[in-house]
Structure 1
Amino acid sequence: MKKLLIILSFALALFLSTSLESSAAASTYTVKSGDTLYKISKMHKVSVSNLKSWNKLKSDVIKPKQKLKVTGSAAKPAKAKAKTPSRSTSGSVVKEFTVSASAYTASCKGCSGITRTGINLKKNPGLKVIAVDPRVIKLGTKVHVEGYGYAVAGDTGGAIKGNKIDVFIPTKSAALKWGRKNVKIKILK
């Protein structure tokens, strides 16, 4: 009888430690190549802002093998948005100025198609994304570009310094047609 009680106690302790480990593992996520905060938020049914808050992230940039908390104390279910950030037409104008705008595509030789903030442009050719100098326009900022529309500042580029932007256009021919021009940009709240 005593042996049976010891065996049952051991089995119960083993079961409890395994369930505690699996719940701890479920509260973190290891970033894989190609992941974005948006994709991870949808997998775990949390908002991107909660992920950023729980992990003390100042931008949307994440790296493979990075461990992220996917649960927190103030967890709120992610609300379904009718529009993607690049198509948002809401928000008040915080600042307006003129920039030199050129165009880029994700299908160039040697291009990965993944932006600085982790957006996969090859899989999402309909998104409106611009490359910016983060010292002038912060990554993740919603903007309106004259002649292009509402977009998100989601990428950077080696030649993008100061008041220059690159607008993402899915096809090479359309990107070449855009050329280089001066346009007004509105930074949205």
Structure 2
Amino acid sequence: MKKFSIAFLTGLFIFGFGVKESYASSPKYTVKSGDNLYRISLLYNTSVSNLKTWNNLSGNIIFPNQTLIVGNKISKTKTASKQVKKELTMKSTAYTAYCNGCIGITKTGINLRKNPNQKVIAVDPKVIPLGSKVFVEGYGYAVAGDIGSAIKGNTIDVFFPTKKEAFQWGRKEVKVQILD
């Protein structure tokens, strides 16, 4: 029985070490206030289901300062095949769902008041097609999900949940990558 116990414990140690080893080089993300699994999945080009599996999450609740595994060697190889279709330098401004006359629902139907952490940009659909996945310098991964009357040509409007955050963004020139 003693030999069995030692062999069993040794096997557990080796197995446990192997599991940790396989995730040791995996990308990690520290959760910030206001984050949710959907937003993080967009940021790392993966699914909410993968995030839950990799982090042994049974629900959608995450906490600030929690460290999450956001990929593994297999998924990062797959996501590396995502290509930048086009890169543009664009003028950017910011908006919220609570401006005068705003209803908080984008042209593509995203309810920004119910999904305040959604990363959305307003675009000129002649330049960036609605529904495109993009990466905006200083903002992160987002979807081109809205239009605006002042958004013409190489201009985007970046969504923020609060007026304070929108004012902090201000007006700036940014690089925008349109992704496959």
* TM-score (ref. length: structure 2): 0.57
Corresponding residue number in structure 1 for 2:43: 87
Distance in 2 between residues matched to 1:88 and 1:154, nearest whole Å: 19
Q: In percent, how many aligned pairs have the same letter? A: 63
Partner Cα separation in structure 1 for residue 44 and residue 143 of structure 2: 9
Does the CA-based 8 Å contact 1:99-1:184 persist in structure 2?
yes
* 2:157 aligned counterpart, secondary structure: strand
Q: 2:115 aligns with which of 116, 124, 127?
A: 124
Structure 1 unmatched ranges of 5 or more: 1-81
In the TM superposition, what are the counterparts of 1:1-189 in structure 2 within 5 Å?
Answer: 83=38, 86-89=42-45, 90=79, 91-189=82-180
CA RMSD of superposed structures (Å) = 1.5
Q: What letter matches 1:181 in structure 2?
A: K
Structure 1 runs, 4 residues or longer, greater than 6 Å off: none
Checking the alignment, whether the CA contact within 8 Å between 1:86 and 1:129 is kept in structure 2 is no
**CA displacement at 1:87 relative to structure 2:** 3.4
Length, aligned pairs only: 108
Query: Match of 2:152, as an amino acid?
Result: K
TM-score by length of 1: 0.54
| Distance change (3 Å), C-alpha of 1:156 and 1:88 | farther
| Distance in 2 of aligned mates of 1:93 and 1:185 | 10
Between stretches 101-110 and 143-152, larger displacement belongs to 101-110
Change (3 A) 1:86 1:103: farther
Q: In the alignment, is the contact (CA less than 8 A) between 1:113 and 1:122 conserved in 2?
A: yes
Contact kept? 1:130, 1:168, Cα under 8 Å = yes
Q: Deviations over 1:31-72 (max 9, x none)?
A: xxxxxxxxxxxxxxxxxxxxxxxxxxxxxxxxxxxxxxxxxx
Distance 1:92 1:83 in 2: 21
